[in-house]
Structure 1
């Protein structure tokens, strides 16, 4: 970013991490912004810009995460258009993508001048990918996930969006009872207050509605809502996690045997994350 005139013989700009830095005109950067500039309108505008850039970066990561969790088809043209934006580029770089062939996985590294994507395939070759759309597959859908993870480690890839190293749960091969609609594996996680449990759910990105922490999941064209009971909204005493359930768009409970792999994995991920924040009594199991 260019240096801006702040008067009094000073110039200011945004430095690393969105921090406002100052210097004497044409000189070296100062360790701190001089007191005379701290209330300067240009300094305030740069701070507001920094806050907006942070929100924008978070929004880009959230959008790419939503594409990935839902395995939604994303137009290649859209990726090419947003790529020059540093925040979008950081969110998209190194994500695993799949084109027309679901078995051909590659890591997105760049876009090409002719409107395609440059990806590194699992043979370590950089290839051009130019279908109309690509998907950013949920890791539970990736074949040979452990091999993909090892390959990514060898390449030193770092993902802003938690994808290939995302915690996953596979639905047990042994069928559940035909009428089973809930999982209690992560029930009973005690918290000192319902507020603390709700705050953890919100901090993890889950929606709190009534007495539940919820998550909408699109899996194979079907949308379900996973929910974990966290206690009555205005209860100010101790609370604990309840059972995990899934409901369809009409509010009907979905049987466990009818759930897709992504819905199961993401629901279990939410329940496990809430349970992990429980109060551990002295001498209890971690």
Structure 2
């Protein structure tokens, strides 16, 4: 944005999300002068910066939801939001799959007002697509994911929303189909339940009752992965518990019925929580 002149002999603007001040001759100051700290225009810029930060986070969260749930996104919608810098940052370079050609995977580079998408396909060619909808596939659904990751590295692709390099877990073929819980990441000890809950919310997960949870729509079915983190209001030492999945009615889902995206996202949450556990000196840090 441009610079706003103040009567006090300064100019202010937002630079990299923060209020910046300069003299009219162009010299930018390292700190906000005392005379401007309570200035109405400075306060207005601060509130704008806070709103922009929330907007950027909301855009990224929505795109992440589309990706995790493999929801079809109208191309027209992408074209409408693309001029917004926050939306563009969240969407740019994500892998997309058009509904009219599921084999045509490409990295999104542009969305025109006319509803046309410009993507770089896996042959390194820039092509234009005009599908009615696209999906932003979860990486566990992409065939030859290692090759896609290698190609993305060659293109020096950086994604605002973690997709291509998102950690994934494949469901083992030898698990007990009727079982309903996984204990791979159970037993991670934390000094307090509050600390474990804070880690969960800091990672973007919801804490409800004694569980950290994340919702996923997999193969058209909504499920919720949940990891036990301890009784609410328990102030003493606690540990991560088992991971399980529930349907929309709260019924436990058998492991054999958990879809690939729900499995991967549930394991990702459990692993991320477990990674913050207390490590005793000389203990296992794996």
Indicate whether the TM-score tops 0.5.
yes
Taking the aligned partners of 2:8 and 2:252, their CA distance within structure 1 comes to 67
> After the TM superposition, which residues 1-286 of structure 1 pair with which residues of structure 2 at under 5 Å, given as runs?
1-15=1-15, 17-99=16-98, 100-112=100-112, 114-174=114-174, 176-286=175-285
Taking the aligned partners of 2:212 and 2:108, their CA distance within structure 1 comes to 33
Taking the aligned partners of 1:221 and 1:129, their CA distance within structure 2 comes to 25
**141 and 178 in structure 1: CA distance in 2 versus 1, 3 angstrom threshold:** closer
Query: CA deviation digits over 1:164-201, x for unaligned, max 9?
Result: 00000000122x22420000111000000100111001
Taking the aligned partners of 1:38 and 1:177, their CA distance within structure 2 comes to 63
Taking the aligned partners of 1:219 and 1:113, their CA distance within structure 2 comes to 31
Taking the aligned partners of 1:77 and 1:178, their CA distance within structure 2 comes to 42
Taking the aligned partners of 2:113 and 2:58, their CA distance within structure 1 comes to 26
Offset of 1:259 from its aligned partner? 0.9
SS in 2 for 1:7: coil
SS in 1 for 2:114: coil
Offset of 1:104 from its aligned partner? 1.4
SS in 1 for 2:223: strand
Offset of 1:234 from its aligned partner? 1.2
- How many residues are treated as equivalent by the alignment? 284
SS in 2 for 1:208: strand
Taking the aligned partners of 1:225 and 1:192, their CA distance within structure 2 comes to 27
Asked if the contact 1:198–1:213 (Cα under 8 Å) also holds between the matched residues in 2, the reply is yes
Q: Where do 5+ consecutive residues of structure 2 fail to align?
A: none
Offset of 1:6 from its aligned partner? 1.8
Taking the aligned partners of 2:66 and 2:131, their CA distance within structure 1 comes to 17
Q: Which TM-score applies when normalising by structure 2?
A: 0.97
Cα RMSD for the two superposed structures:
1.0
Q: Which TM-score applies when normalising by structure 1?
A: 0.97
SS in 2 for 1:22: strand
Asked if the contact 1:6–1:37 (Cα under 8 Å) also holds between the matched residues in 2, the reply is no
Offset of 1:113 from its aligned partner? 5.1
Asked if the contact 2:79–2:113 (Cα under 8 Å) also holds between the matched residues in 1, the reply is no
